[in-house]
Structure 1
């Protein structure tokens, strides 16, 4: 895990692939709870029998937005940003989904610090995010996430 204490230490990481998270299994319970939370009960996510019989992947798949929502959790396994008064998930940019995440797949976030900019006391960090799926050649997605920090 990378420890970041201030703007200067973050800036030193610019252009660096800082690491990967541990593997996280996305099971049917998590997919179903996400469906309930977002009111998105499309059968390809929640109907195991229909997905196996009629679906293109022979199993249910995770919602794309579920996999995106894991970024803060997985990022905190890669980097610990200390001495902050405020941390905001500010945005996502240039995201593309590659392949679906089938139920019970294990995923890991690979993160690269693309840019670190001091905006008069608020630090804007763009992190390149790639969600890897164990035993798959292509990632589930690639793109950039934007975090804002106010250091103490």
Structure 2
């Protein structure tokens, strides 16, 4: 296991069992633009005005458009790739989520980054299952935009 200045965690497949309790991150900050939200709305067919209509969104308790929760979650791939790496495996998969919450709205134009902790590692047939909790911090915010208890599998 290699931890680079407490930020990037790089480990080999066979070293995964020793990672329980290890933290990683934060990643770099990522700004989410209205253009990205609009494109996601088209792709997902989630055209809720709170995401894409600045006039309608201004009249809500949020006062502005907010990022789709699942768009925020989808950023876990590039942001986590900056701070968590497993090497020496054949294939890795996103096995799912144990729990997912969106504690605070993420205003469009805000910046987010991820931090994480490896909660557990268990042996499975042909590899390991890793369960990290990943938190999306909003710059200047008091609550996270997203907290995801992920389940990842790495096979030899």
Q: Distance in 1 between matches of 2:51 and 2:148?
A: 23
Shift of the alpha carbon at 1:137?
Answer: 1.1
Corresponding residue of 1:50 = 56
In the superposition, the TM-score normalised over structure 1's length comes to 0.92
Q: Distance in 1 between matches of 2:32 and 2:56?
A: 19
List structure 1 segments (4+ residues) > 4 angstroms apart after TM superposition.
none
Q: Distance in 2 between matches of 1:70 and 1:46?
A: 19
Matched, 1:4 2:11: yes
Q: Distance in 2 between matches of 1:7 and 1:116?
A: 11
Pairs within 5 Å for 1:3-152: 3-8=10-15, 10-52=16-58, 54-151=59-156
Q: Distance in 2 between matches of 1:6 and 1:96?
A: 29
Q: Distance in 1 between matches of 2:13 and 2:89?
A: 8
Q: Distance in 2 between matches of 1:116 and 1:103?
A: 35
Q: How many residues align?
A: 149
Q: Distance in 2 between matches of 1:75 and 1:135?
A: 20
Q: Is the 8 A contact 2:13 2:154 kept in 1?
A: no
| Structure 1 stretches lacking a partner, 5+ long | none
Shift of the alpha carbon at 1:47?
Answer: 0.7
Q: Distance in 2 between matches of 1:92 and 1:71?
A: 12
Q: Distance in 2 between matches of 1:32 and 1:7?
A: 42
Corresponding residue of 2:3 = none
Q: Is the 8 A contact 1:125 1:148 kept in 2?
A: yes
| Structure 2 stretches lacking a partner, 5+ long | 1-7
In the superposition, the TM-score normalised over structure 2's length comes to 0.90
